Amino acid sequence: MSTLQREITQILESLVSSGTPPTDEVLALQSPLNCVELKRSGRRYSSIFSPREVSLVLRLKKIGKFNFTIPSGWKAFNLPDGAQITLGEGQEPLSIIHRTFDTPFC
């Protein structure tokens, strides 16, 4: 029990000391032609939340395009500013949450 208490204390102290609260942005993905740019706003980490499993296409400058599928729920998604995301072929429109933060605990 004391280990858990120490870990929770460390997490809370880290959040308070970071000074910048997490930011959430809702991204509406409409079609494979509708690219949305991910912005980290100077924060070190990011993750996305999807309400259901979905196939996405990721575009990275100077690297190329990648197809991937994510399950429902939160996923670490630490990509550089300017990365673009869109729905894969045949996917129904949906909204996802893109969260940026400075501590690895959010």
Q: Is 78 helix (H, G, I), strand (E, B) or coil?
A: coil
CATH label of the domain that carries residue 45: 2.60.120.770
Q: What is the largest CA-CA distance in the chain?
A: 52
Q: Is residue 48 part of a domain?
A: yes
Residue 78 lies in a domain: yes
- 81 within a domain of the structure (yes/no): yes
- Segments forming the whole domain that contains residue 60: 20-101
Query: pLDDT tens, 39-84?
Result: 887 888 889 999 999 999 999 988 999 999 999 999 988 888 889 9
Instruction: Indicate whether 45 belongs to any domain.
Output: yes
Q: How many domains does the chain have?
A: 1
CA 94 to chain centre: 15
Q: Token pair of 98, please?
A: 């893109």
Answer yes or no: is 10 within a domain: no
Under 8 Å between Cβ of 88 and 56? yes
Give bridge partners of residue 86 from the DSSP assignment: 57
Look up the pTM and report it.
0.75
Q: Is residue 3 part of a domain?
A: no
Where does residue 51 rank: exposed (0-12), middle (13-18), buried (19+ CB within 10 A)? exposed
